[in-house]
Each structure stands twice: as C-alpha cells, then as structure tokens.
Amino acid sequence: MSTATAIRTYAIDKSHSEATFQVRHLVTRVRGRFTDFDGMVEFDEQDPERSTVTVSIEAASVDTGDATRDTHLRTSDFFDAEEFPTLTFRNTKVTKTGENTFDVMGDLTIRGVTKPVTLHMTFLGKARDPWGNERVGFEGELKINRKDYGLMWNAALETGGFLVGDEVKINLQIQAVAK
C-alpha cells in the first residue's frame, strides 16, 4: 500500500523566528538581526527535495543594538534601504544531506544583486500548538562575502587591515504555521 505525499504550505511565524548575522569588526564580531521579515515554506515531509522556500526581509529593520550603527547600515554605504528596501531568498533546489539535513540552494538578492547561495538547513520537527495549528521548525546557516552584494564600505586601520570583515555569517531559526 502506497501513501500519497503532499506538499503542505507554511507561513513563517515572525514572532517565533529570527534572521541574525555576524561580521568581524576590528578584533571582535558584531551581531545583528532583522526584525521585519516574512516568507513561505512549501514542505513535503516525505520527499523534501520537492520543497520550496521564499523569504523577504525588510532592509530597514536591521538592528545591531546601536542606533547610530543601524542608521549607517541603512545608508548607501551598506544596505541602501531606501533604494533597495528588501533582501530576498528563493530556493532553486533542495538536496537531502542527512536524515534531517538539507542543502537548500537558491538565489539571494541584496541591494539588487542576485547571487546563488547554499543554505545548510536542519528540519527540527513538527508539532501542534495549543490552538491546534500544525507547526514546523527549521534552522539554517550560510556564509556570504558582503562585497559580492555591493556592501563595500570599510575603513583602513593604522595597524593594517580593515575595520569591517568581508565574511558575513547568517543564521535562521524558522518556525512556520500551516496555512
């Protein structure tokens, strides 16, 4: 007897999800997050390679805990949030890499520049909340070079090197509710 599989659509629950990043600053790492984002996951639990993910992040919602720095990040030196208000990710392929792990390949767009990336994702499980809604959880990570997306600003240091590192580590914690 065969069981039919179905793709189920889930909306990202922003209040139980986060999109964070970290980048080297001088000798330490600065961490930040985006507070305004949404997206959809079309998930086939039996055949995850048929799944799709779309995420949209509001660039102006960047928050590093420092208002002056956040204002600078919204300018044309970095995200240029007025000209390019959203960062987007749309997957093009999902490849199973382990029992609950996947490489989610897709197109990441920042500042109008689109580049292929691979998001390393883990399926954390499925559960019903107290109101009877089905929820799924995922976590993922990727690294990008900020300069690939036109985030070029930097300052040379007297001792050599630069103030801001090029590599940005992005982490996602996603809880999504069935539609």
Q: What is the pLDDT of residues 31-56, one digit of tens each?
A: 999 999 999 999 998 899 999 999 99
Residues in a beta bridge with 114 = 109
Bridge-based pairing of strands 37-43 and 52-58 is: antiparallel
Compute the distance between CA of residue 59 and CA of residue 66 in angstroms, rounded to an integer. Answer: 16
For the CA atoms of 81, 116, 53, 11, the dihedral, rounded to the nearest 10 degrees, stands at: -10
Q: Is the pTM of this model over 0.85?
A: yes
Q: What is the pLDDT of residues 100-129, one digit of tens each?
A: 999 999 999 999 999 999 999 999 999 999
Domain coordinates in residue numbering, the chain: 8-178
CATH topology classification for 8-178: Lipocalin (2.40.128)
Q: Is the pLDDT of residue 5 over 70?
A: no
Q: What is the pLDDT of residues 129-158, one digit of tens each?
A: 999 999 999 999 999 999 999 887 665 556
At 49, list the tokens: 């390679």
pLDDT of residue 25: 74
Given a contact cutoff of 8 angstroms between Cβ atoms, the answer to whether 137 and 124 are in contact is: yes
**Exposed, middle or buried: residue 65 (CB in 10 Å: 0-12, 13-18, 19+)?**
exposed
